[in-house]
Amino acid sequence: MEKLCNRVGEVYEPFKVRFLHREVRDLAPDEALIRVRASALCGSDLHIARGLHPSAPLPVTIGHEFSGDVAAVGSEVRELQLGQRVTVEPCIVCGQCEACRQGQYGYCQNISFTYRNGDGAMADYVVVKAANVYQLPDYLSYETGALMEPLAVATHAVRRAQVALGETVLVIGTGAIGLLTAAMCRRAGAARVIVSGRSQGRLALALEMGATHVIDSSRTDLEQEVAKLTGGKGVDKSFECVGKESCFLQAILTLRRDGTATIAGIYESPQVTFPVGRLVTHEIHIQGTQGYCWDFPIAIAAARDLPLEKLITHVFPLDQLQQALDTALDRKSNSIKVIVKP
């Protein structure tokens, strides 16, 4: 194969991106080369852009939510065809540790992500393991296909919470993960999906994604509203998708007895204080959720009837990666998902 030239976006100092120009490397037998068509900015990219990501110090290439076409495959790859439209699960696992050997690759002791190894997807091309590549069905565009990664995150959260038919759930937060979690709770069978947030526009979008009730927590007391909606009982399951102490408390204090809170937010301030007696008096459960493990196929299948395009608020060409990043960082832009296209 002739050498292809690639641009890869890299955050080199806080708030600043530049392009690295380099040749696409030769593929190992089990790898595939993906021609990137759409790449979405993620909340974690914004932590990186601020220089505050705990496990991805600068400089680092960015982009891990993407779709594209198969441009080349290694000698041992049989499952992929050239030109196939695909998305990619961007984690890299060792396959050898105990967790991997038990199929629990999300707990791999050596887990990493393609972008941290220099294979960021804010690029023209990216080299990945063929086993991490999933075909996009016709109902997904490149743009919505790039959202399978955050949808897999929401899928993982909802599966961990074991949301069941007829349940009442509360989702705190109306960022992409909150909205997608609400959508997946409804599709998992929850009868009532209450979403709380502080923006009327986002709450209206939550209703379009599948929420049955929305609460503007900037105007009303969330605990009181939930008590009203549940006859004082509380919700079966709550999801914290913000990463703030006040939201953590809401997730705990709105639960019914024996209910489960699932914490998905990234906490910039690591300590929280909460009334620990509630664990005893209400026998509640608190668990975390992170990433995904066997969730991509479920997310892709469930995406068939999700209005994902409504989450895409901005699209930029790759040349304008800096503007794309500035837009995603600017609260006034009211962006949800910013997509970059090479």
| Binding region for Zn ion (CB under 5 A) | 42, 93-94, 97, 100, 108
CA pair distance 328, 41, nearest whole angstrom: 8
Between 113 and 274, name the residue whose CB sits nearer to Zn ion: 113
Q: Of 61, 56, 66, which Cα lies nearest the Cα of 11?
A: 61
Least Å distance, CB 133 to Zn ion, is 17
* Rounded least distance, CB 47 to Zn ion, Å: 10
Angle formed at CA 306 by CA 303 and CA 311, multiple of 5 degrees: 110
Nearer to Zn ion, 285 or 314 (CB): 314
CB-nearer residue toward Zn ion: 11 or 42? 42
Least distance to Zn ion, CB of residue 248, Å: 21
Q: Please classify residue 39 by burial: count the beta carbons closer than 10 Å to its beta carbon, then call 0-12 exposed, 13-18 middle and 19+ buried.
A: buried
Specify the residue, 101 or 304, whose C-beta has the smaller distance to Zn ion.
101
In degrees, rounded to 5, the angle at the alpha carbon of residue 151 between the alpha carbons of residues 47 and 325 is: 30
For the CB of residue 111, give the shortest distance to Zn ion in the complex, in Å.
7
Q: How far apart are the first and last CA of the chain?
A: 21
Nearer to Zn ion, 8 or 24 (CB): 8
d(CA 119, CA 85): 19
Minimum gap (Å) between residue 62 Cβ and Zn ion: 10
Nearer to Zn ion, 105 or 125 (CB): 105
- The closest alpha carbon to 114, from 61, 41, 74, belongs to 61
CB distance 313 to 324 below 8 Å: no
> Closest separation between CB of residue 45 and Zn ion, Å?
7
SS3 sequence, 86-124?
A: EEECCEECCCCCHHHHCCCHHHCCCCEEHHHHCCCCCEC
Smallest gap from Cβ 43 to Zn ion, in A, equals 7
Please say which residue, 152 or 209, places its beta carbon nearer to Zn ion: 152
Structure token digits, residue 321: 């990666």
In angstroms, give the least distance from the CB of 97 to Zn ion: 3
- In single-letter form, the type of residue at position 65 comes to E
Nearer to Zn ion, 182 or 284 (CB): 182
The DSSP annotation for 155-220 comes to HHHHHHHT--TT-EEEEE--SHHHHHHHHHHHHTT-SEEEEEES-HHHHHHHHHHT-SEEEETTTS
Cβ count near 5 (within 10 Å): 10
